[in-house]
Amino acid sequence: MRSISDEKFDNLLSFMQEKKIDVLFIQDSETSRDVKLQYLSGHPTDASYVLTSSGENCLIPWDLLLAKDLAQTDEIIDVSEYKFSSFVALKEFISNKISKSSPIIGVLPKIPYGTVKSIGQYIPEAKIYNEPNHIDQKFSDIRATKILA
């Protein structure tokens, strides 16, 4: 189950638009756990989540069946259709959703440098947002605020 409310999701999208971040990339893997993936998608672990500033999103999971059961995203991408490369799938998703020639991709500080480097290799025209701590702080702010029903 996705934990983020519509109001908080819209708040995140506004932040991305304000900072001119076209795509937010979140990865949860054995080497880099990140609960933000489950917070945004409902999927528990081992996947990549991609969110555009317009709100379109996808999940690129390791376990496709688990994702189909639990994820609440616009699209679930079967990585086997992309030579088992989440970066090839990421490139395809971005090229289909973002019309800019040099999209800005936001990543979190805890994403391994090798992952950031791979994004640059597969999507050389993209730029990485240079203040990942701003993104991390935004999540802290969003998650700290409780909305009363």
Q: What is the 3-state secondary structure (H, E, C) of the chain?
A: CCCCCHHHHHHHHHHHHHCCCCEEEEEEECCECCCHHHHHHCCCCCEEEEEECCCCEEEEECCHHHHHHHCCCCEECCHHHHCCCHHHHHHHHHHHHCCCCCCEEEECCCCCHHHHHHHHHHCCCCEECCCHHHHHHHHHHHHHCCCCC
Do 56 and 97 meet the contact criterion of CB atoms below 8 Å apart?
Answer: yes
Q: Cα–Cα distance between 139 and 57 in angstroms, integer?
A: 17
Q: What is the pLDDT of residues 8-66, one digit of tens each?
A: 999 999 999 999 999 999 999 988 889 999 999 999 999 999 999 999 999 999 999 99
Beta-carbon neighbour count of residue 117 at 10 Å?
11
Beta-carbon contacts of residue 64 (< 8 Å; ≥ 6 apart): 76, 78, 79, 80
- pTM for the structure as a whole: 0.92
Q: What is the pLDDT of residues 68-95, one digit of tens each?
A: 999 999 999 999 999 999 999 999 999 9
Q: Which domains are seen in the chain, by residue range? A: 6-144 (3.40.350.10)
